[in-house]
Homo-oligomer: A and B are copies of this chain.
Amino acid sequence: MELTKQLAEAVLSADPLQDKRAVQMARNGLLDAAASALAAKEDEGIQKLMALVEQEGGAAQIPVMGKGKKVSRQSAAMLNGYLIHALDYDDVHSDVRGHPSAVIIPALLSQLTDGEIYGDRFLAAYITGVEVMARLGESIGKAHYERGWHNTGTLGAIAAVCAIGYLKQVSQEGLAKAIGFAGAQSAGMRKQFGSDMKPLQAGLAAKTAVWSMDLACSGFGGNDSVLDGALGFFSLYGDQELAESRLLEGYGSTWRIVAPGLWFKVYPFCSAAHHAADAILSLMKEHAALPEQVKQVDVIFPPGGDAALIERAPSNGEEGRFSVEYVIALAIFGQTLTLDAFTKKNIPTDMRTWMKRVSRGYDQTIEPHPDAVPKGRFTIVKLTLSDSTTISKRVDIPRGAPGFALSKEDIIQKLSSVTSASQAQQILQAVEEGNAAAYLKLLA
């Protein structure tokens, strides 16, 4: 049987609810996505997108998170996907090499126009979407991302269409065709990183999934083996041979939402600086040094481990999302590593001057921890104080990453930091009850 049809069959016949850890992780994922979206509701990009959507018009079907307005199903998938990913505060997954929940969750929420309460099947559909996206990420090969594709965009539509297929229990033929429509519309470029278009690429993948399933359900004609053969999706975007051996291997026995698992972000900045953040906060807890007492800070990575941290002397908080120097300075100056520190607001001159005391170094002789996240990564933060004593801390697995997962309480705290405690509790209750419609309504 062909790969596309096999994927459709595997998706429809598995039962993710058998794995209670997967179900719990899915609940946490819904809470974390809600927190990530609400954190972004004042974002400038979303205002522009909503104005464009309004200009096109459309039925008032599904709410845009935190915005008090309903838009059409496809537009809602796009806007909610954008919102969840807007601040890069949403979960990541190492197999995906991207952001699964920002695509899967909005695509599923846009199905909730029928008033049906899907219960735990909604969670199972979400687990399915993450599973397929992780498997696509592994099957497409490392070169895909390296060449410049944005995995969240290029893999998201097929994954989300599988999640919808599970939720709606469509036929195998229908799902195979929907995969084909999604595959033939898959896009997204890393060249757009650092612009509003990056999070929009997540939203567009979600929108494509909603539209592709609608096309399939309408009986519109399409190819049902788009993942197969020399002209197929994997040949075009990646590695056909790898996909044939990996895509479906052991599907349904374990769930990738659990292992390697979602990484929920504790801090609203680039994950490459999370290790250093944990380290400096831990050091500051033990030795509450003042800025003037710190002569020098050395931050040691494995070679290339700081590639994503492109800002060494940021001028505002938004640039500071990609600066380990700024993150360390905030901690030393006694400020919290929360959203308000990472806006367009200028960084005060004294802090910018102080940041020059931070140096980066690389050490390839240090053995990474076998469970390091990401693989091969570590960060050592070493403070040299004015009396020339030194204190240092090494972190291999940052808080929130698989292996050091956030507790549900941590995630509720993240949620409470962007909305009222009572709303956070209501959202939690909806998620515990598997009531996706109530969840969506609370986020409206």
Residues in B with CB closer than 8 Å to A204 are 185
Chain A: residues with Cβ within 8 Å of the partner, total of: 57
Interchain CA distance A204-B55 in the complex, whole Å: 19
* Cross-chain contact B220 with A190 (CB below 8 angstroms): no
CA distance A90 to B197 in the complex (A): 33
Q: Say yes or no: A73 contacts B45, CB within 8 Å.
A: no
**Cross-chain contact B197 with A223 (CB below 8 angstroms):** yes
Known contacts A59-B56, A186-B187; decide if A235 and B147 are in contact (CB<8 Å).
Answer: yes
- For A217-261 the 0/1 string (1 means CB < 8 A from B) is 011111101100111110110000000000000000000000000
Question: When the two chains form their complex, are residues A219 and B48 in contact, meaning their CB atoms are under 8 A apart?
Answer: yes
Contact of A231 among B153, B189, B197 (CB under 8 A): B189
A236 to B187, CA, bound (A): 11
The chain B residue sitting closest to A54, CB to CB, is B59
List the B side residues contacting A334 at CB < 8 Å.
none
Tell me the bound Cα distance from A230 to B183 in angstroms. 24
In the bound complex, residues from chain B placing their C-beta under 8 Å from that of A51 are 218
Task: Please report the C-alpha to C-alpha distance between residue A72 and residue B71 in the assembled complex, in whole angstroms.
Answer: 14
Q: Which of A72-100 contact B (CB under 8 A)?
A: 72-75
| Complex: A211 Cα to B57 Cα, angstroms | 13
State in angstroms the CA–CA spacing of A188 and B226 once bound together: 11
Shortest distance from the beta carbon of A418 to any chain B beta carbon, whole Å: 22
In the complex, the answer to whether A72 meets B56 with C-beta atoms within 8 Å is: yes
**Cβ–Cβ < 8 Å partners of A235 in chain B:** 147-148
A220: which B residues are within 8 A, CB to CB? 45, 48-49, 52, 196-197, 200
CB proximity to B under 8 Å, residues A37-63? 45, 48-49, 51-52, 55-59, 61
- Would A214 and B148 be within 8 Å (CB), given that A184-B197, A221-B196 are in contact? no
Chain B residues, Cβ within 8 Å of A186: 187
A192 and B197 contacting across the interface, CB-CB below 8 Å: no
Let me know if A188 and B184 touch, CB within 8 A: yes
Task: Give the Cβ gap from A203 to chain B, nearest Cβ, in Å.
Answer: 12
A145 CB to nearest chain B CB (Å): 10
Q: Contact between A226 and B187 (Cβ–Cβ < 8 Å)?
A: no
Q: Which residues of A contact B (CB under 8 A)?
A: 45, 48-49, 51-52, 55-59, 61, 72-75, 147-150, 153, 180-181, 183-192, 194-197, 200-201, 204, 211, 214-215, 218-223, 225-226, 229-233, 235-236
**7 extra A-B contacts, CB within 8 A, seeds A56-B58, A185-B188, A185-B204:** A45-B221, A56-B75, A180-B191, A180-B192, A184-B189, A184-B191, A191-B226
